[in-house]
């Protein structure tokens, strides 16, 4: 078989490879955004040039006729559009999962090694949760208290939760680097831990070394006392 006859076969194989690369790129882009959120740090749009370049090679093998150019242009548009859309769609899926986890947050889940008093567990849902800074965890706890992580960077999540706590109707015990509100024998404490914000609920009479902020429950959680 002549080289000319082999060209369409080779072009078809290369085109299949380009399609596979495009599908892989879109899937990875969606997965990254679903895991880490959509943003400049997770965009893979520049990598769309790889499947586009492979498709252009396939087109060059059979010649840039009008139909080939039209097909290549369609491939370019679809690849760029799908990659660009995968990020926000993955980010939305992450937000839905985080909101669902927030709504179901409890310190006394079926796998909890330590159970906190019911009023402490319920306190997390007695104040408004400012979107999209949802609760996750629990991260640590003791028989007297429990700590939840807060989604988002602390420079955004801390002010949002501070406003929520101060407007909650609870008695304000402290408003500073830590925000502390108290009601019905339960204390809620908002504080920063590095680049993250944390919300801790505890029996109001407990000190920091009794209420769970000091207890290491494994998984890399470190005592502060």
Domain ranges of the chain: 3-101, 106-203
pLDDT (tens digit per residue) in 47-71: 999 999 999 998 888 888 888 889 8
Which DSSP string corresponds to 186-201? Answer: EEEEEEEETTEEEEEE
Give the pLDDT score at 102. 93
pTM greater than the 0.85 cutoff: no
Q: Under a CB-based contact definition with an 8 Å cutoff, are residues 190 and 178 in contact?
A: yes
Q: Under a CB-based contact definition with an 8 Å cutoff, are residues 118 and 201 in contact?
A: no
Q: Under a CB-based contact definition with an 8 Å cutoff, are residues 163 and 130 in contact?
A: yes
pLDDT (tens digit per residue) in 68-125: 889 899 999 999 999 999 999 998 998 899 999 999 999 988 777 888 888 999 999 9
Asked, as a colleague might, if the bond just before 11 is cis with ω within 30 of 0, I would say no
């Amino acid at each position: 078989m002549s080289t000319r006859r082999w060209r369409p076969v080779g072009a078809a194989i290369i085109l299949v490879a380009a399609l596979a690369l495009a599908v892989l790129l879109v899937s990875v882009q969606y997965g990254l955004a679903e895991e880490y959120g959509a943003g400049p740090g997770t965009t893979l749009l520049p990598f769309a040039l790889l499947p586009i370049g492979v498709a252009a090679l396939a087109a060059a093998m059979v010649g840039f006729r009008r139909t080939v150019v039209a097909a290549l242009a369609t491939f370019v548009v679809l690849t760029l559009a799908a990659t660009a859309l995968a990020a926000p769609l993955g980010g939305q899926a992450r937000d839905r999962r985080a909101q669902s986890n927030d709504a179901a947050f409890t310190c006394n889940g079926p796998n909890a090694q330590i159970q906190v008093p019911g009023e402490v567990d319920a306190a997390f849902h007695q104040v408004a949760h400012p979107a999209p800074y949802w609760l996750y965890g629990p991260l640590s706890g003791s028989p007297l208290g429990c700590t939840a992580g807060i989604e988002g960077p602390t420079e955004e999540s801390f002010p949002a939760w501070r406003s929520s706590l101060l407007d909650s109707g609870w008695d304000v015990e402290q408003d500073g680097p830590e925000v502390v509100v108290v009601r019905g024998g339960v204390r809620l404490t908002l504080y920063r831990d590095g680049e993250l914000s944390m919300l801790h609920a505890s029996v109001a009479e407990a000190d920091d070394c009794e209420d769970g902020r000091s207890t290491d429950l494994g998984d890399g959680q470190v005592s502060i006392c």
